[in-house]
Amino acid sequence: MTLFNIAQRFPLPDRKGKPINIEGRRLLDQHGKDHSSRPADLTSIVLLSAERGEFTRACIESLFRHTEEPFEVIISDVGSSEETINILHSFEDAYPNLTVIYNPQSRGTGGQRNQAVLLSRGRYVVFMDNDVLALPGWLSALKEEANRDPNTALVGAKLLKKEQEFVYYCGLHAISLEKEGKVYGIGLDKEGEKGSLHREDKRVNIKGIVPWYPTTTLLARRAALFEFGGFDDWDGTRGIMLANEDKDLSLTARKYDYKIIYTSHSEVIHAHEYHKVDRTNRYHRLYRLRNDLIEKDILYFMKKWKLEYMLEKLPHEDNTRRFVEGRLTRVKLDLTSGPLAADVRRIELL
């Protein structure tokens, strides 16, 4: 299922429950300027809302503080509690360039992003987690890189940890296993010292083509999204609900011969701190710690792309899994000197 029929499957309700006028709505930027006649001048920034209203507030405040280019914000909510809904109402009242899609229930990460892509009108769409804090120049650097080459579909930013001195994700972390043009493994490599790279590390401050990149802060060419149908979202029986939608989107872009670029010139803070997570709160119980759905997502994703390995090499543990005969099993892989080393694909410098 794709964004081509998203409005029929998941209507886009406003705060009164009425369908949002997709084509007829005014496109205002943060200064109140109307871009309806020239929508390509506007960048659409997409956030998902699942409780955590204060995180969303901090994210939005950082966007208005550190984004010079004309932009709009589209938030797709999962059917949050009254407290969070009231926060979203306050955003709409305060910011003329902010639109909220009030879903009565979760449509999944891909489905809700597809809703926002359909509602967007600009040349570029930026997918951003609501626990991200923008830094000066973040958007201009992403757009500059995308503007260099029409065959670039996705551009990812350097993601810093909350203390800002160290990196959360960068181009070095996104890897794949490939042989004769076929991807048979994909995921993260933050093993050992790669999990605590300094913000100024020369391995971080580069740009290049990556095999995939997270949607934590990822700019996409809107025309390309429509060309290949956006995210493969969950329809109740198949598709992706919660996890690996970014890897799936990246592999789809590559299937259409588009490039995925990482640039260190765009910096944001990923304020999520795993060691401080309250796994008993509403957000994690209902939306993040759904291991049953995540397992289905992984199995669907790996079957779809005929993958053998889901790579997750972390500083404290190796969660890499192998898909064999319809089942996932834990394995430990040596990607530096073992038999798979020649097949490892990392960032290709530009």
350 residues of the chain, pLDDT tens digit each: 578 899 999 999 999 999 999 988 999 999 999 999 999 999 999 999 998 889 999 999 999 999 999 999 999 999 999 999 999 999 999 999 999 999 999 999 999 999 999 999 999 999 999 999 999 999 999 999 999 999 999 999 999 999 999 999 999 999 999 999 999 999 999 999 999 999 999 999 999 999 999 999 999 999 999 999 999 999 888 899 999 999 999 999 999 999 999 999 999 999 875 544 444 555 444 554 456 788 899 999 999 999 999 999 999 889 999 999 889 999 999 999 889 999 999 999 99
Cα 48 from chain centroid (whole Å): 10
* DSSP symbols for 65-104: HH--S-EEEEEEE-S--HHHHHHHHHHHHH-TTEEEEE-S
Instruction: Name the residue with tokens 């996409």.
Output: 220
Asked if 123 and 221 count as a contact pair (C-beta separation under 8 A), the reply is: yes
The pLDDT of residue 52 is 83
Asked if 67 and 266 count as a contact pair (C-beta separation under 8 A), the reply is: no
CA distance 303 to 166: 35
SS3 labels along 266-279:
EEEEECCCHHHCCC
Asked if 175 and 139 count as a contact pair (C-beta separation under 8 A), the reply is: no
β 43-49/71-77 pair status: parallel
CA distance 343 to 145: 27
Q: Is 227 exposed, middle or buried (0-12, 13-18, 19+ CB in 10 A)?
A: middle
Q: Is 82 exposed, middle or buried (0-12, 13-18, 19+ CB in 10 A)?
A: exposed
Can you give the residue ranges of every domain in the chain? 3-172+192-289
Torsion sign (Cα): 135, 137, 139, 145: negative
Please give the structure tokens belonging to residue 68.
């010079």
Strand arrangement, sheet containing 327-330: 327-330, 321-324, 309-313, 182-189, 174-179, 344-345
Dihedral Cα 317, 323, 327, 328, nearest 10 deg: 10
Q: pTM of this prediction?
A: 0.94
3-172+192-289: CATH architecture: Alpha-Beta Complex (3.90)
